[in-house]
Amino acid sequence: MIRVTRRYRFAASHRLHSSELSGAANRDLYGKCNNPYGHGHDYVLDVTLEGPLDGATGRVCNPATFDSLVTESVLRDFDHKNLNEDVPEFAAAVPTSENLTSAIEARLRDSWDTAFPAGWPRLRAVRIQETKRNSFEKIR
Amino acid sequence: MIRVTRRYRFAASHRLHSSELSGAANRDLYGKCNNPYGHGHDYVLDVTLEGPLDGATGRVCNPATFDSLVTESVLRDFDHKNLNEDVPEFAAAVPTSENLTSAIEARLRDSWDTAFPAGWPRLRAVRIQETKRNSFEKIR
Amino acid sequence: MIRVTRRYRFAASHRLHSSELSGAANRDLYGKCNNPYGHGHDYVLDVTLEGPLDGATGRVCNPATFDSLVTESVLRDFDHKNLNEDVPEFAAAVPTSENLTSAIEARLRDSWDTAFPAGWPRLRAVRIQETKRNSFEKIR
Amino acid sequence: MIRVTRRYRFAASHRLHSSELSGAANRDLYGKCNNPYGHGHDYVLDVTLEGPLDGATGRVCNPATFDSLVTESVLRDFDHKNLNEDVPEFAAAVPTSENLTSAIEARLRDSWDTAFPAGWPRLRAVRIQETKRNSFEKIR
Amino acid sequence: MIRVTRRYRFAASHRLHSSELSGAANRDLYGKCNNPYGHGHDYVLDVTLEGPLDGATGRVCNPATFDSLVTESVLRDFDHKNLNEDVPEFAAAVPTSENLTSAIEARLRDSWDTAFPAGWPRLRAVRIQETKRNSFEKIR
Amino acid sequence: MIRVTRRYRFAASHRLHSSELSGAANRDLYGKCNNPYGHGHDYVLDVTLEGPLDGATGRVCNPATFDSLVTESVLRDFDHKNLNEDVPEFAAAVPTSENLTSAIEARLRDSWDTAFPAGWPRLRAVRIQETKRNSFEKIR
C-alpha cells in the first residue's frame, strides 16, 4: 500500500462573521478577519489517497483522473471565488478554515467513493494550508 | 553600502474590473479574476533599503523603525482588507499587482523621504509577490 | 474531528556536550556541534491539536488562545536564548533536538491539559525542525 | 518515543514505458512522461525513524550512521543516474514514483533491520517528493 | 516602469559530456554529471519583463500573452525532454545550466522582440534554477 | 556574460552588544538580541559570480573551485561557531548581519581576486539571509 499526495492551490476571499453573534462579539472573536468587505488567501490543498500498486502501470491512481476529480468537485467552485457569496456550503456556515476543510473533504469523499466503488484508491486525508503559519487536516 | 531587505505579508481580496471597459471586455481581459464577488491572495511584500553602515550600531536601519514605517504606511491599511473597497488608491484604479506595487512604493517612498530627509537609508526597491508564480517590482 | 497545526519559529543557540563523556568522546560523538562556544539555529515549531468543531464559531481552538499558550509556555523562554544557559531543562540534559522536542512537548502537554481539562482540543503532535534537513516529532 | 526525519535529495532521469503495453497505450497512459529519450527530476527523499531516546547521548540515532545507511543503500545508486538504465529494480518495472518509493523503502528496511537487529531505531516511513506537486509515502 | 517576473517549471534530463575532451577529462571535469545514461532536474525558469503600466488595464503585459510566448518558445520543446537528444541547441554544445540559460534567453529575446516591435514590454532577465543550490542568470 | 549564484548554509550563534554603549542602551537598541548568553541562526549565504562562458566546458566557473573557495574562506571559520568568540572580525565589531555581510564579502573578494587575477569570473554580490524575514546584500 502506497500513499499518494497531490498538491493544488486556489485563491479565494472570505469574511468571518457569525450570524448567531452580535457585531461586537464577531469583532472580538474574529478580529481583523471580521472586516466587512472581506480579505483573501492563496489556499494550498493537499489530497492524500492510499491504495495498492497496479502491477501493469506502477501507479496507485492515474494522475489525470486524480486531477480531474479534484478540479470538478472543488477547484472549479472555489478558485478565484468569494467563499461567502459563491459557495453554497457557506450560505449559513462561517468560512473558517476548519469549516472549509470539512466542506472540501465531504465533496472529495463523495467523488472518490463514487468513482471507485470497489474502495481503492481510497481518500485518506485532506489538508488545507491557509497561510504559511497554519494548516487544517481531516483524516479518514 | 549595504542593501537590507525585510519581508512582510498581508492577506487581501480584490476584483479586477475596469470601469472603462464593457462587461464582456472585462471578462475577456481579466478572466476568472473578474469574478463579481472577488477573490484573494496572501501577498508577500519585500522592501529593500540601501545605506551606509552606522559604525556604532553596525546597522543600516533600526529594524524597529523599518517595521514601524511599513506597518503604518502600508500594512495597517492593506492587511485583511478588500483592496477595491477599503483602499483609496483603488477607488478608481484597477487593483492589479502592477498598480498595487506602484501604490505601495509611492507610500513607502514618501514615508522614507520624510523620516530620513538626509537621504540615508534610501528606499531602493519594492517587490510584491502575488502568488508563487508571479512577482512585481519597482526599482528606484 | 479536525486537526489544526500552527507554526512558530524561535532562534536559539546551543552546544552539544555530555558531562558523562570525556572531551574526546564528546568531539567524536557530536563533531562540530561540540564547538566550545556553541552555535545556533532558527528552529521551526509545529504544534498540532485535534478536536471537534465548535458549531457557533466554526473553530477547533481560538487562535489567540493557541498562540498565547505556546508563547507563554515555550517561546518566551526559548526564543533568542542560549538553551544550555537559559533553559532549566538543559542544566543537565544535552540540548539535542530530540531532548528539545521532549522538553517542549512536556511543557505544551501541561499547558493544554490545564487549559482544557475537558480534553478538547487535545495536543496531538509537536514537531521541531532544526534545519531544512532534519525534523523531530513527538506524537501523543 | 521520538520520530526523527532526515531529508536527502537526488537528481535522476527516467522514462515511463511499460513493455506490457503497446506504444499507443503507453503514450495514452503516461503522456509526456513517455518521451523516448526520458526526462528528469530532483527527487526529495524523507526517511523517518522512530525510537527511544538514548539517555547518555540524547539521540534516537547517530546522524552519521543515519546518513551513511541512506547513502550506501540508496543515494550511491540513484543520485545522478538514469533509473531505467542504471538501477536493477527498474530493468523490468516502470520507474513511476510509486515503484520508486517501494524500491527505496525495501532497500532501507533491509539496511535498518540489519544494522539494528534489536529493533530500535525502527524505520517508520519513506516519502518521495517527485515535484512540488506530488509525493508518495510508504508507512511501516 | 514596473518589472514583472513569472515563474515556470520544466523537468528535463541531460548528460554533461564534451566531445572535445577525452573520457577521462570529461569524468574529471563533470564528475557524476558525466554518468553515461544521464540524470535529470526540475528546472525553475524565472522570466522578467520591464515596461510602463497600461493605464486602462493596469498591466505591463497580458499574462496570457506572457505564458503563451514562454510556452511556445521554450516549454513545449524543453519540458519532459532529454536536452542532449531532443533540443537542437545541444546537438553540439554541452547542456550545462550556463548554456541552457543562454539558449533559453536567446529564444525568449527573439519571441519578445518579434511580438513587441515597439520595444515594451522588454525582456530584462532570464534566470534558471537547476537545483535549490544554484542558479544562473542572463541580464539584458 | 552569465551570472552564477551558489547557495550555502551555516549555523552560528551571536550576541548583539556594543562595547561603546551602556547596558541599558544595548538592551534598548538590540532588544532580545542582546540576551547575555546569545542565540543563533541558520544563515543562508548566496554568492554570485559573473563571467563569460568557457566554450569548451560550457561553464563560468568550475563548481568544485567555487565551493572550495567559499568553504576555505568562509564556511570553515563560520559554520557551527559562535561569531563573537570564534571569528576575529567580531572581536571588536558587533556581529549584526550587516557587519557579517561586509566581513564575508571582504573575505570572498580577496579569495576571488587572488584565484582569478585576470578578472573573470568576478565576484558580483554576496547576500546573507539571517531569517526568512530579512536579508542583507553587498553588491560590487
For residue C33, give the chain D residue with the closest CA.
D63
Is E72 known to be catalytic? no
- Which residue is it, cell 453554497? A88
Q: Which among D133, D131, D129, D100 has a CA at the least distance from the CA of D16?
A: D100
Q: Residue B136: helix, strand or coil by DSSP? A: strand
Rg of chain E, C-alpha, whole Å: 17
What domains appear along chain B, each with residue ranges and CATH number?
2-139 (3.30.479.10)
CB C110 within 8 A of CB C126: no
Is-contact A126 A84, C-beta < 8 A?
A: no
Residue B66 pLDDT: 98
B69: cell is 514605517
pLDDT at position D13:
98
Any bridge partners for residue A8, and if so which?
A45
Identify the pLDDT of residue C138.
Answer: 98
Pairing, β F81-82 against β F39-51: unpaired
Query: Active-site residue B105, yes or no?
Result: no
CA D86 to chain E, closest CA, distance in angstroms equals 7
Nearest by CB to E98, which of F53, F56, F64? F53
What does the pLDDT average to over D64-88? 98
For residue A120, what pLDDT is reported? 95
Per-residue pLDDT of chain B (140 residues; tens, 9 = 90+): 999 999 999 999 999 999 989 999 999 999 999 999 999 999 999 999 999 999 889 999 999 999 999 999 999 999 999 999 999 999 999 999 999 999 999 999 999 999 999 999 999 999 999 999 999 999 99
What pLDDT shows up at residue E14? 98
Model confidence at D14, pLDDT cuts 50, 70, 90, reads very high
Digit-coded pLDDT (tens) for E83-107: 999 999 999 999 999 999 999 999 9
Q: Could you say which of A14, A17, A61, A130 is catalytic?
A: A130
Q: How many CB atoms lie within 10 A of CB D133?
A: 15
Per-residue confidence (pLDDT) for residue F26, from 0 to 100: 97
- CA atoms of B44 and B27, how far apart (whole Å): 26
Take residue F112 and report the three cell numbers written for it.
Answer: 576571488
When pLDDT is cut at 50, 70 and 90, the band that residue F123 belongs to is very high
The pLDDT value given to residue D120: 95
pLDDT mean across residues, chain F: 97
How confident is residue D118, by pLDDT bands cut at 50, 70 and 90? very high
Q: State residue A135's pLDDT score.
A: 98
Nearest Cβ partner of C134 from D4, D53, D58? D4
Q: Which amino acid is at D100?
A: L
Active-site annotation holds for B80: yes
What local confidence, expressed as pLDDT, does residue F9 receive? 98
Which amino acid does the sequence have at D139?
I
* Catalytic one of E39, E72, E80, E85: E80
**Which pLDDT does position C11 carry in this prediction?**
98
Please tell me what DSSP assigns to residue F89.
Answer: G
Which percentage of chain F shows pLDDT scores above 90?
Answer: 96
Q: What band does E136 get if pLDDT is binned at 50, 70 and 90?
A: very high
Contact F39, C12 (CB under 8 A): yes
Probe site for chain E from B105, B133, B138 (most E CB atoms < 10 A): B133
So what's the pLDDT on residue E11?
98
pLDDT band per the 50, 70, 90 thresholds, residue C54: very high
Q: How far is F95 from chain C (nearest CA, A)?
A: 13
Of D1, D6, D56, the CB nearest to C134: D6
Task: Name the stretches of chain A with pLDDT < 70.
Answer: none
pLDDT of residue B128: 98
Task: Give the model's pLDDT for residue E43.
Answer: 98
Q: Which residues of F are catalytic?
A: 33, 80, 130
Percent with pLDDT over 70 in chain F: 100
Query: Which chain D residues have a beta carbon less than 8 Å from that of C133?
Result: 6-7
For residue D50, the model assigns a pLDDT of 97
Residue B130, min C-alpha distance to chain A (Å): 9
Q: What is the pLDDT of residue E70?
A: 98
Q: Kind and range of the H or E element at A109? A: helix A97-115
Fill in the DSSP letter of residue B33.
G
